[in-house]
Amino acid sequence: VIGLYEWSGNNSIIPELWLVPHILPIHPGRFWCFCRLIYMPMSYLYGKKFVGPITPTILELRKELYSVPYHEVDWNKARDTCAKEDLRYPRSLLQNVIWTCLNKIVEPALNCWPVNKLRDKALKNLMKHMHYEDESTKYIGICPIDKALGMICCWIDDPNSDAFKLHLPRIYDYLWLAEDGMKAQVYDGCQSWEIAFIVQAYCSTDLVNEFAPTLRKAHEFIKRSQILEDHPDSEAYYRHRSKGSWTLSTADNGWSVSDCTAEALKVKISYF
């Protein structure tokens, strides 16, 4: 995206997969939520082959990062090159066959007229799904990875859009300043989850009277953190019903979590 690596050096992440019938097991709507929501902006960026402005800084970084001149890099070879320390598990023969077919046959075919009309349709569909995810999570996203990638996609689609502007202030939900510098969380917090356990701990050790004001605040927080409505058109966007549930963090997050719901409900029923 910033111009330090060519798109041809990546294995194909085809956005058209979102257009196949949902009945097929390969449809992204059947993926685990984290996998699906990261694949979504990744396939959008790959489909766009977007590259930002090549500035003098980018040109200097190209010189510094590669052992050969940038224009001499063999991107076909780079596509499957991996340091042995990072190769956690070798790809199978089947995987190699699938990637080769995608890179050599499917991707070139999808970029030819009139088949490339499918790409335009797929990219519009993906942006529709990303807007839904943004709106249903108050622009927090499910994790900082899909939040950052989704924000980039909104900027590419329209840098002056309300969606991009609404993304910006929610960056800080993932950042915090520690004694040794800035940190990024892997989630926007675990407030509901932890408070439910804290309340149970206080109540099981007979500290209720001593911490009564704190427990009243905890009760109010748990009450406010409950999701009160189902997300609209949830099934069309591969989401489960959410009314009455709790998230890992706050109601803004929007993603119901079964064990967080169980613990919060246990606290509400047993102690409040």
Return the structure tokens found at 248: 């890992």
Confidence class of residue 272 from pLDDT cuts 50, 70 and 90? low
Which residues are bridge partners to 193 per DSSP?
none
User: Rounded to 5 degrees, what are φ and ψ at 107?
Assistant: -60, -45
Instruction: Name the nearest CA neighbour of 246 among 201, 189, 202.
Output: 189
Q: Are 148 and 72 in contact (CB under 8 A)?
A: no
Q: Can you tell me whether residue 244 is helix, strand or coil?
A: coil
Give the type of residue at 72. E
pLDDT tens column, 150-190 = 999 999 999 999 999 999 999 999 998 999 999 998 999 99
Domain regions of the chain by residue span: 7-80+89-178, 191-271
Q: Has domain 7-80+89-178 been given CATH number 1.50.10.20? A: yes
pLDDT tens column, 205-258 = 878 888 889 999 999 999 999 999 999 999 999 999 999 999 999 999 999 999
Q: What is the pLDDT of residue 5?
A: 96
Is 259 catalytic? The answer is yes
Is 70 exceeded by the pLDDT of residue 39? yes
Q: What is the mean pLDDT of the chain?
A: 93
> How much of the chain, in percent, has pLDDT values that exceed 70?
99
Q: Can you tell me whether residue 177 is helix, strand or coil?
A: strand
pTM of the full structure: 0.89
Confidence class of residue 269 from pLDDT cuts 50, 70 and 90? confident
Give the type of residue at 266. K
Confidence class of residue 203 from pLDDT cuts 50, 70 and 90? confident
Per annotation, catalytic residue among 74, 120, 233, 259: 259
Give 103's DSSP letter: I
Interval 55-77 mean pLDDT: 95
Q: What is the pLDDT of residue 168?
A: 96
Is 80 exceeded by the pLDDT of residue 88? yes
Is 80 exceeded by the pLDDT of residue 271? no
Q: What is the pLDDT of residue 205?
A: 86
